[in-house]
Each structure stands twice: as C-alpha cells, then as structure tokens.
C-alpha cells in the first residue's frame, strides 16, 4: 500500500479520503488556496501545502502547482476526488510523466469518456442503448438546428464536457433553441473550458439510475449495484438512494451488465459510474463519470464496503477485493445534499458564515460527510455544498423515516440553506409512494415551495424567552462588575410603579410587526402572543439551545442571534425574526424602487439592453455568472432602462446596483 498520498481537492471529499487513508495507516498531504487556509481538510491532513490564491483557476485547477506539492512532499500518489482535476486527462498524463500514481482511470479512458459525444459513439459501437441524439463534430448553429429538428422537440442541449447540470438547457420549441445554444456554450466554456455541445431527445418522465462500476488492471470488472438519482433541481442531484426502488430485477441486472461492458470497452481501471435514463422498461446510456461520485456513500451503506479503499488498492496494482458473485447488498440508504442556497429564489447559491452548524449524531444508521465546521464561511469561490447526510436502515420505509428525523435534527443557521426543502421532499406522499422521476420537483412545486407563513406563536415564544434570558444574563454580569450587586437597577423583573410587572417585545416577521407582552409570574411568565396566552417556565439557555416548558409541554430550540435578527431552529423548522429597532426601521429603504441589484457576487457575461430601452415585464436585461451558473436579471415590470452600470466582464458584488429602471405608471 502507499505510504503517503496527496489529495488534490478540498471540502468534504478531501476529508472523506483522509479518513480512509488514516484508517489504513497512510499519511496524507492536503493542498489549499489562500481562502482555505483554515479549512477542515487542512486541519485533518498530516501535511498541507498552499498552492495559490482563492480562485480555483489559480489554485485547485493548477496542475503544475499540485504536482509540485506532491513531489516536494514525497507523496507517491494523488487522489483527485471529484471535480477540479479529477477527469482531466492532461493532469493524469502529467502524473505518470512525473512518476506519481494517479488514483483514477487510465488517460485513454478519461479521454474516451470525458467527451459525451465520443463516449456515445463508443457505446453505440459496444451495443449499449443510447438516447436518440446528435453528438457530431459539426458544432455550427445550423448543424445543431437541423439535428434538433430531426430528433424532434423537446430536446436537451448539453455540454459535451463536464457535468453537474452546467451547460444544460431544455428546449421545447424551435424558437428557444438559439438562446439555449448560446447560453449553454457560455456556461460550458466557463465551467469546463470546452464549449462543445450535443443534443438529445428530452424524455418527459424518466428516472435517472446510475451503476457503480469498478475495474482493476488485471482485467476484472464488477458492478456494485445501482443508485436512483432522479430527484434533481436544475439538472443537479438533490436526494439519491440505493438500491433503485421498484426497478424490475431483469432491468437492474441488464443495466449492471451494460455498465461493465461500457467500462471494458475503454479498458477502464478504478471507480467509475455509468449513468442511464430509464423509462417504460427501457434504459439509455447518458454518460460515464470517470471518478468517484458525490453520492458514493449510499453504495457503501448498502454493501458495507469502503470505495476509497478499493480505489487505493486498485491504484496500487492489486486485484479487486471481491468478484461479482461475492458482492451482496443489504437494506436501503438515502443521501441528501445540504447546500448553502435559497430554494425560493431558484436555488440561488448563498455565501456567509455558518453561525450554527450542529449535525445529527452519527451512528450505524446516520452518517455525515462534510468539509466545514461551525464558524466557517461558505465562499463565493467554490461549490456551496455544506454536507451530505446519509442514512441507512433495513427497508426503504425505515430509511425514509431516518432521513426525515435526521433532517429535523440538523441545525444550520447563518446562510440560506435547503434543509427545509429537503425535509418537504422526504415527507411528500408521492416520494414515499415511489412516484419518482426527474420531473418530481417541478411537478410538486406547490407543496415543495409553499408560501412563506407567519412565524407561529411557539417561534415568537422562543424568541422572546431567549431575549429575556439574555437580558437576565447581561444584568447579572453588570451587577457583578458594579460596586453594588444588590442595586435594584440591575433587576430584570419588569417591575413598574402602579402597574403589572411586564416587558413588551416587538419583532418584524418578513416585514410585518409582531408584538409579545411578557407578564412576570411567581414561577415563570405569561406570554401574550397573537391574542393568546402561553404560560412559560423552567427556561434555560445554554450554548445557543433554549429549553423551556411552554403551555405545559417541554420544548427545545436553537436560537441564533446576529445582525439584529434571531433564527429559531425547532424540529426541522427555521423561523427568522428581526428584533424591531425604530432607528433601523426609519433608515430602511424600499428595495423595489427601480434598482435592480446583483443577487450575489459574480461576473457580468451579457448585457442585453442599453440605457433608454423600453422593455416589457420579464424581459432579460443582464446575465450574471456566479459559481459557474448563469443568473438572468429580468425587468420587474413594463418600463424603461434608465442606466446600465456594468459592462461584460465586470466583476460585481452582492447587492450592488446593476441597472436603474423606471417602471411605467399603473393606469
């Protein structure tokens, strides 16, 4: 086995590889950018080397810097993780030239499968079923237009290189094709440095099922069963599960055998994933990812295997630990991807500090893979994934119950996140009933993206009690620091001359004023909330967790304060309240006064209008690229563009005014 390896990645996958290497007694070397100097993967590794500034293009994507770090450290091999250099044939070749083992497939396999177009040609030759489509060398708009017409709408325009939903557009009618081609090219070029496109028939209700394959350098190849990855948003996976539910055994076996055939067709070595769409009993090859997948833990949970260990053994020249007939699966597993993003704003990525991050307790049923800790920040420079939550149990129903409970127990505050959204998917009756395909989220938008409801009385009660307890703590500190600890000026009992002892609290709930009156009683408080009386007693606040008996029931919630706001996390719900401050309220400005702001830091990639242009509501005005995804700024109403403040190529900060806009007066 190797003595020392370098992990050419960051975040949760770097930490994941380090854990297996440590178990096997292998020393690890981390690489990091200036933005990641204090990152978890740096702290976990035995050694760490700075390789460049924060942008990935100047650090994690610099093959020469990574190789220099490996050689300087004496690492015998490089594990690329996924993303960054993991499917870069040039990097794999450079590793071989420099005498460093690349823990991945041979260069030829990466080249063959790295291009979706080339891989489809190879699979067609090998007899693997394909989705009808065009993957030709002629990349002119005219050729792509002819191909789309021949295939028949709707079609899917997608980048030939890369994955993760980047450079992908669904086109339902000819009129939208030109814009989709232009947008997909830009996004593919920015994300992968390659704007080659292919066009496929868009299947309306397919399931996305992928096969985990493994091969060694001795001619052995196996499949480690399948994963269902149908729950997707913006063509990116959200929740995965293994095995794929309600899949006929004949189809399951045929897909596995086709995946092994695909791997053998390119003389594959190592871990890989062959992805298929399946619909109406048929299945079709999409692509092969020549690396470890984000969702590999669900396969590990049902097989009891460590796939990173298998990677290391195969890269060292060993044979596969098990043959196909020795592989077994047991139980059911789910993986939910936790992101810093706002589902209500089309999953717009978010940045900021993780002010509270408390995952559920890990055990044989619950696993958390993460690369961040409480207090860390989610940066604009990298993927906004916070963690992967993986659960396992004997059956799908039991595992789903575990998933719902683990999501409810996950405490996260400080950045917008998708935990509530994941919880709604897990709790949806159609998900439990196996009514799953790639259109699931779109089909159930009404339930998965509900209107924001007012914070319930229990949330206001928690917020009020947290402020009361903090006032008491501050008064205690002031008393101890004063010359008279018994001074009545340090009391927080709400005492008033000729009046009931009480405090009044005022909050802003999504802009609406909410008031709570607190009356002091001998053994607690009486809270008047929304015209109702709630008794509260035995309240305590420790390490951000508030426990109290409210209305006769013992309850618990995390309360996170910051920037004049309180976030209350309770049994999977997250409620946000602003503590109403008159001076802040007076200074507040109307956000909708004709100023179109940048939703997050990024770069302007298209300016579609000029000052003076008259536009209709919903018209595209500007396109901003952020975190390798494009975000279109649209006209909020019919009106006139007063001024455009940025040009193509300009960097923009979150909240900066992009365009001044004058809406037409309502008639």
Active site residues: 291
Q: Which distant-in-sequence residues (6+ apart) come within 8 Å of 492 by Cβ?
A: 468, 471, 472, 475
Measured in degrees and rounded to the nearest 5, phi and psi for residue 22 equal -65, -40
Q: Which distant-in-sequence residues (6+ apart) come within 8 Å of 174 by Cβ?
A: 145, 148, 149, 153
* Parallel/antiparallel/unpaired status of strands 502-509 and 512-521: antiparallel
- Decide if 352 contacts 560 (C-beta within 8 A): no
Q: Which distant-in-sequence residues (6+ apart) come within 8 Å of 244 by Cβ?
A: 207, 209, 226, 227, 228, 252
| Whole-number CA gyration radius for the chain | 28
- Decide if 299 contacts 330 (C-beta within 8 A): no
In whole angstroms, give the CA distance from residue 128 to residue 260.
Answer: 10
- Report the half-sphere exposure of 257 (CA within 13 A, side-chain side): 8
DSSP 651: E
CA distances from residue 575 to 122, 262, 578 in whole angstroms, order as listed:
52, 49, 10
Q: Is 573 helix (H, G, I), strand (E, B) or coil?
A: strand
Of 92, 58, 61, 64, the closest CA to residue 78 belongs to 92
Q: Measured at the alpha carbon of residue 219, what is the angle toward residues 213 and 220, in degrees to the nearest 5? A: 45
Q: Is 374 helix (H, G, I), strand (E, B) or coil?
A: coil
- Decide if 392 contacts 402 (C-beta within 8 A): yes
In whole angstroms, give the CA distance from residue 68 to residue 45.
Answer: 18
DSSP-assigned letters across all residues of 192-236: HS---EEEEE--SS-EEEEEEEEE-TTS-EEEEEEEEEEEEETTE
Element (H, E) at 439: none
In whole angstroms, give the CA distance from residue 347 to residue 383.
Answer: 13
**Sheet strand arrangement including 155-159:** 133-134, 197-201, 155-159, 168-171
């Amino acid at each position: 086995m190797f003595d020392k390896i370098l992990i050419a990645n960051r975040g949760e996958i770097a930490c994941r590889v380090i854990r297996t290497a440590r178990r096997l007694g292998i020393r690890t070397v981390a690489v990091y950018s200036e933005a990641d100097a204090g990152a978890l993967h740096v702290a976990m590794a035995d050694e760490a080397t700075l390789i460049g500034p924060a942008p990935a293009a100047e650090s994690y994507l610099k093959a020469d810097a990574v190789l220099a770090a490996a050689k300087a450290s004496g690492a015998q091999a490089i594990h690329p993780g996924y993303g960054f250099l993991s499917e870069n044939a040039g990097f794999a070749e450079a590793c071989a030239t420099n005498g460093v083992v690349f823990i991945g497939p041979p260069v030829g396999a990466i080249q063959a499968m790295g291009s979706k177009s080339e891989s489809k040609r190879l699979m067609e030759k090998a007899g693997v079923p394909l989705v009808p489509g065009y993957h030709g060398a002629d990349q002119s708009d005219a050729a792509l237009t002819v191909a789309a017409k021949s295939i028949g709408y709707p079609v899917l325009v997608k980048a030939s290189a890369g994955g993760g939903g980047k450079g992908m557009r669904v086109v339902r009618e000819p009129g939208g094709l030109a814009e989709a081609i232009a947008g997909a090219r830009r996004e593919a070029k920015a994300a992968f440095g390659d704007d080659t496109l292919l066009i496929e028939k868009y299947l309306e209700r397919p399931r996305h099922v992928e096969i985990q394959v493994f091969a060694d350098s001795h001619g052995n190849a196996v499949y480690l069963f399948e994963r269902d990855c149908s729950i997707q948003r913006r063509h990116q996976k959200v929740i995965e599960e293994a095995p794929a539910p309600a899949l006929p055994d004949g189809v399951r076996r045929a897909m596995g055998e086709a995946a092994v055939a695909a791997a053998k067709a390119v003389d594959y070595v190592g871990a890989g994933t062959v992805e298929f769409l399946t619909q109406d009993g048929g299945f079709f090859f999409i692509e092969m990812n020549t690396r470890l997948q984000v969702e590999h833990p669900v396969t590990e949970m049902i097989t009891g295997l460590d796939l990173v260990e298998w990677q290391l053994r195969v890269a060292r020249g060993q044979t596969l630990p098990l043959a196909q007939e020795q592989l077994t699966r047991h139980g059911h597993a789910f993986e939910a991807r936790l992101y810093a993003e706002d589902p209500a704003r089309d999953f717009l990525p978010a940045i900021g500090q993780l002010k509270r991050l408390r995952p559920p307790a890990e055990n044989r049923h619950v696993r958390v893979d993460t690369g961040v800790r409480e207090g860390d920040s989610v940066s604009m420079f990298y993927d906004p994934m916070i963690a992967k939550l993986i659960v396992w149990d004997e059956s799908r129903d039991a595992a789903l119950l575990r998933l719902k409970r683990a999501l409810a127990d996950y405490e996260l505050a400080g950045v917008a996140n998708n935990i509530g959204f994941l919880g709604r998917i897990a709790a949806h009756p159609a998900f439990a009933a196996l009514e799953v395909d790639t259109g699931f989220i779109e089909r159930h938008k009404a339930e998965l993206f509900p209107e924001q409801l007012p914070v319930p009385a229990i949330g206001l009660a928690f917020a009020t009690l947290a402020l009361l307890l903090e006032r008491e703590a501050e008064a205690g500190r002031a008393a101890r620091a004063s010359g008279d600890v018994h001074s009545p000026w340090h009391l927080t009992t709400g005492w008033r001359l000729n009046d009931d002892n009480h405090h009044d609290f005022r909050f802003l709930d999504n802009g609406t004023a909410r008031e709570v009156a607190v009356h002091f009683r001998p053994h607690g408080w009486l809270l008047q909330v929304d015209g109702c009386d709630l008794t509260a007693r035995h309240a305590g606040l420790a390490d951000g967790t508030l426990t109290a008996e409210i209305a006769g029931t013992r309850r618990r919630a995390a309360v996170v304060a910051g920037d004049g706001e309180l976030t209350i996390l309770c049994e999977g719900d997250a409620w946000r309240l602003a503590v109403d401050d008159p001076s802040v309220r007076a200074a507040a400005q109307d956000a909708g006064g004709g100023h179109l702001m940048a939703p997050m830091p990024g770069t302007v990639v298209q300016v579609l209008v000029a000052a003076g242009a008259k536009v209709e509501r919903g018209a595209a005005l500007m396109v901003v690229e952020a975190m390798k995804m494009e975000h279109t700024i649209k006209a909020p109403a019919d009106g006139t563009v007063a001024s455009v403040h940025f040009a193509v190529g300009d960097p923009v900060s979150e909240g900066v005014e992009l365009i001044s806009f004058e809406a037409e007066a309502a008639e």
